[in-house]
Structure 1
Amino acid sequence: MSNTQSKTLMTEGSIWKKIIAFAIPLFLGNLFQQLYNTADSLIVGNFLGSNALAAVSSSGNLIFLMVGFFNGIAMGAGVVIARYYGARDIDRVQKALHTTIAFGITAGILLTVIGVVMAPIILVWMGTPEDVLPNSVVYFRIYFCGSIAFVLYNIFVGILQSVGDSRRPLMYLIISSAVNVVLDLLLVAVFRFGVGAAALATIISQFVSALLCFRHLLRAPEDYRVSIKKIRFHIPLLRQIISNGLPAGIQNSIIAFANVVVQSNINSFGKMAVAGCGAYSKIEGFGFLPITCFALSLTTFVSQNLGAKQYERAKKGARFGILCSIIMAELVGIIINVFAPALIAAFNNDPQVVAFGTAQARTVTLFYFLLAFSHCIAGILRGAGKSTVPMLVMLCCWCVIRVTYITVIVHFIPVINVIFWAYPLTWTLSSIVFLIYFLKADWVHGFEH
């Protein structure tokens, strides 16, 4: 086995060192991604005003709704690749990764068509304020013209992460982040081209990162090297990818749909509420960094080790990752809670914008440990081939209960803080259900079953 392969295999060596070594580049990569996403809003809010900031913010949950399903399928592909990589079944690794790329190309084209055509209809359905709607449509349409770039980028990153390489995507993300910020400053701050320019900057940076990842995969070690001639659908592998990825895709869509309903209710409080909550959502992204990186690390770690039939190692790694994620997420939550007014004001210093954003931050941030726990268990179960379980839990807790709560309670108590409480309440419910399942169910033999 080559030195490169031994570094990416998570079935041997110190458990905590393997997880931390994999999680740190993920954390830094997500940090840079969050920084350049935040740069969009900072530059738009400060140079184009609260109306433009609201336009960008109102599109966020809708973008995740459109993209989340396909990213979930890609996540399932990563589980399949990691499982066969851990079992050293290189023939199936090759077929799975080329099938995944073929799927990504198809999904990217489909998303472009849907996003461009459906943008006005969906944004109106969401109750986007009339004075914000034109800019929202422009931002949304331009963003989705680059669908194939961000779908393929996420797929390429998923392939690299599934074989244990989280460092290479970090390098490429740093480059694309720099490109995005420079273009934002040039197109928005200097030339004042409007919100469409912010979307264009994001698209260009995504193409840069996707091309860099693809270039590396064309030259990667033979086990997971990509060949353009081999990119096609292998039906047996496609079935496995869809079987593992469809629940994750539905789960992402469920979360996104619930958040779209939340956003629709926030929209009813006016553009200042939209701008303030949009600013908070960018800050909240930093709270999600340790959650995301450990959840993804655990998916890869568990999948590789269960593929190699190292069940006790998978369990020990799962417990360690959960603990790390909870501690780090809560520390970030406390920091955001304390400095919320200053952080929101960095996006737009209008007192109303700051008040709305601060209210949301101080309602939810101290409950980040619950969000961390739920996402880590979901990541573990996906890695174990049981992705239907987190889908059902989140369908019930994060969609049905959250939407019902908002629909009923806001009707009787039309106060925006009531909407904010939907998050910690539903995080609590999902954490209780996940804890019971994690302790009682036989999740380590998911592949055999």
Structure 2
Amino acid sequence: MKKTNNLTEGKILSSLTRFAMPVLFALFLQALYGGVDLLIVGQFASTADVSGVATGSMVMQTLTMTITGLAMGITVLVGQRIGEKSPYKAGQAIGSGLCLFLVVSFILTVCIIIWSGAIARLMQAPEEAFAQTDLYIKICGGGCIFIVAYNVLGSIFRGIGDSKTPLLTVAIACVLNIGGDLLLVAVFHMGVAGAALATVASQAVSVVISLLIIRKRTLPFTFSRKFIRFNKNIIWTEFKLGSPVALQELLVGTSFLVIQMVVNTISVTASAGVGVAEKLCTFIMLVPSAYMQSMAAFVAQNAGAEKPQRASKGLLYGIITSVSIGIIMAYFSFFHGDVLSSVFSNDAAVIPEAHDYLKAYAIDCMLTPFLFCFIGYYNGYGKTLFVMIQGLAGAFCVRIPLVVLISHIPEATLFHIGLATPASTIVQISLCLIMMTNIKKQSKQRLSPINL
């Protein structure tokens, strides 16, 4: 068997950062992969097309994050089995996970194709951009099987400590998507349809090529065709681990969709502006996002190896590293958001709207590193139910109510609406700190002489 990237040994900071760097580059390419649609449409198509891609891609991004959350069940279970040095059980976890996600991809494909118009209507897509939004969602929905396949492959390899293979798969997809967008949107002027077709085609080719590459590798776990079966115990374990994260991602994503829905009722320019800003935020939040995924694998392996102190130190190092980057991102978002926004749009009316929204995200840049590292830490320990609860609290007790409330204030700007996001992050961080305090108290009680 191939030697794994063992995260249970060596210097903590170097082990964590070495693992996180390929994850960071993969997320960057994935963000570029998702952002290139809006970038090229913004330069070669109409504002209505920009609005359609902005709203449609936000729906698909929420779907993708939900799938990633559900796939966290595979990451955690496989990571724990690798930490326990049980490659046979790791292979069983992977085989059953493939069966689970085959069913998931089929259900999603059918539902999105049938209800794409209803989704666009629910998002209150501006009348000028309704057809574009519907078309983008329908075409991308038809490629759900490839979205699922990519995320399952990524979750498997992160679980075994391999963050380079997901980097390779997204690099292939990114290159193909850029080429497809330039051809279909810039050359053939297919607008939103061209952007969506390029997205699906690049995902399909990427998955096929990636599987061919993977088949030639010696894997650090035992695997055979007999493992690809519906083992109800393993599937239930993966579902229990991943479903709270998936639900949390779905509902948090829904809260951002609500923001888009509210803004869509203002004007098509505001709709495009928030779409541009949200796409930029994907890049701005890359470092904490990378640490969130890496922290889950790092903690899962150390939990399996019974090294809790190493896991806790990894959390501390992750926070320190990502906060330093967050401060830099906050500066550029607040003071130079107009320059950043011009990358995705050349519309003089859209750019200031996007910058106004980004100013609120500048605050969140300094808060999210804390939250994402905590989420990765708790996911790694399998405390996915708590992750779901804190996500729901932030989304439905803070973000959505504030957005609705602020939107009814006369002369409220996109900056004011955007402030709902850092407000919810503060509440979620507070819950994470309370959870950490409770865990430490329970650990001391278990070690007290009375309980020995």
Which residue in 1 is equivalent to 2:449? none
> Helix, strand or coil for the counterpart of 2:184?
helix
Give the letter aligned to residue 431 of structure 1.
I
Q: Separation in 1 of the partners of 2:81 and 2:3?
A: 14
Q: Does the C-alpha gap of structure 1 residues 207 and 444 become closer, same or farther in structure 2, counting only changes over 3 Å?
A: farther
Q: Are residue 181 (structure 1) and residue 178 (structure 2) matched?
A: yes
Q: Does the C-alpha gap of structure 1 residues 443 and 148 become closer, same or farther in structure 2, counting only changes over 3 Å?
A: farther
Deviations 1:345-393 (A, max 9, x none): 2322322201110101112213312112111101100100111112101
Of the three residues 257, 266, 269, the one matched with 1:269 is: 266
Q: Does the C-alpha gap of structure 1 residues 144 and 160 become closer, same or farther in structure 2, counting only changes over 3 Å?
A: same
Q: Are residue 112 (structure 1) and residue 112 (structure 2) matched?
A: no
Q: CA deviation at 1:106?
A: 1.3
Which residue in 2 is equivalent to 1:434? 432
Q: CA deviation at 1:98?
A: 0.7
**Contact 2:140-2:200 within 8 A present in 1 as well:** yes
**Contact 1:267-1:273 within 8 A present in 2 as well:** yes
Q: CA deviation at 1:18?
A: 1.0
**Contact 1:150-1:210 within 8 A present in 2 as well:** no
Q: Separation in 2 of the partners of 1:225 and 1:355?
A: 54
Q: Separation in 1 of the partners of 2:107 and 2:442?
A: 36
Which residue in 1 is equivalent to 2:149? 152
Q: Does the C-alpha gap of structure 1 residues 438 and 40 become closer, same or farther in structure 2, counting only changes over 3 Å?
A: same
Q: Does the C-alpha gap of structure 1 residues 443 and 141 become closer, same or farther in structure 2, counting only changes over 3 Å?
A: farther
**Contact 2:88-2:221 within 8 A present in 1 as well:** no
Aligned pairs for 1:50-61 (under 5 A) are 50-61=47-58
Aligned pairs for 1:30-109 (under 5 A) are 30-109=27-106
After TM superposition, the score normalised by the length of structure 2 is: 0.93
Aligned pairs for 1:107-256 (under 5 A) are 107-224=104-221, 226-228=223-225, 230-256=227-253
Q: Separation in 2 of the partners of 1:401 and 1:367?
A: 14
Moved more, 334-343 or 241-250: 334-343
Of the three residues 399, 404, 410, the one matched with 2:401 is: 404
Q: Separation in 2 of the partners of 1:396 and 1:87?
A: 34
Q: Are residue 361 (structure 1) and residue 358 (structure 2) matched?
A: yes
Q: Separation in 1 of the partners of 2:325 and 2:205?
A: 31
Q: CA deviation at 1:407?
A: 2.2
Of the three residues 252, 256, 274, the one matched with 1:259 is: 256
Q: CA deviation at 1:313?
A: 1.1
Q: CA deviation at 1:442?
A: 4.3
Q: Are residue 299 (structure 1) and residue 296 (structure 2) matched?
A: yes
Q: CA deviation at 1:33?
A: 1.5
**Contact 2:281-2:361 within 8 A present in 1 as well:** no
Q: Are residue 389 (structure 1) and residue 382 (structure 2) matched?
A: no
> Helix, strand or coil for the counterpart of 1:363?
helix
Deviations 1:129-187 (A, max 9, x none): 11100011111100111100011111001101111111122123222211110111011
In structure 2, the gaps of 5 or more residues are: 447-452
Q: Does the C-alpha gap of structure 1 residues 187 and 226 become closer, same or farther in structure 2, counting only changes over 3 Å?
A: farther
**Contact 1:298-1:379 within 8 A present in 2 as well:** yes
RMSD: 1.9
Deviations 1:299-329 (A, max 9, x none): 0000000101111111111111121122222
Deviations 1:3-55 (A, max 9, x none): x424x111111211111110111111111121222221111011112110110
Of the three residues 417, 420, 426, the one matched with 2:418 is: 420
After TM superposition, the score normalised by the length of structure 1 is: 0.94
Q: Separation in 1 of the partners of 2:442 and 2:273?
A: 43
Q: Separation in 1 of the partners of 2:219 and 2:401?
A: 51
**Contact 2:101-2:148 within 8 A present in 1 as well:** yes
Give the letter aligned to residue 143 of structure 1.
C
Q: Separation in 1 of the partners of 2:196 and 2:401?
A: 33
> Helix, strand or coil for the counterpart of 2:19?
helix
**Contact 2:245-2:388 within 8 A present in 1 as well:** yes
Moved more, 23-32 or 327-336: 327-336
**Contact 1:370-1:428 within 8 A present in 2 as well:** yes
Q: CA deviation at 1:199?
A: 0.8
Q: CA deviation at 1:443?
A: 9.9
Q: CA deviation at 1:228?
A: 4.4
Q: CA deviation at 1:202?
A: 0.9
Which residue in 2 is equivalent to 1:311? 308
Aligned pairs for 1:11-30 (under 5 A) are 11-30=8-27
Q: Separation in 1 of the partners of 2:133 and 2:425?
A: 30
Which residue in 1 is equivalent to 2:450? none
Q: CA deviation at 1:429?
A: 1.4
Q: CA deviation at 1:276?
A: 1.1
Give the letter aligned to residue 416 of structure 2.
V
Give the letter aligned to residue 438 of structure 1.
M
Q: Separation in 2 of the partners of 1:91 and 1:349?
A: 54
**Contact 1:384-1:443 within 8 A present in 2 as well:** no
Q: CA deviation at 1:223?
A: 3.6
Aligned residues: 443
Q: CA deviation at 1:251?
A: 0.5
Q: Separation in 1 of the partners of 2:395 and 2:97?
A: 28
Q: CA deviation at 1:237?
A: 0.8
Give the letter aligned to residue 107 of structure 1.
V
Q: Separation in 2 of the partners of 1:443 and 1:118?
A: 49
Moved more, 326-335 or 411-420: 411-420
Q: Separation in 1 of the partners of 2:208 and 2:314?
A: 33
Q: Separation in 1 of the partners of 2:65 and 2:172?
A: 24
> Helix, strand or coil for the counterpart of 2:367?
helix
Q: Separation in 2 of the partners of 1:220 and 1:84?
A: 20
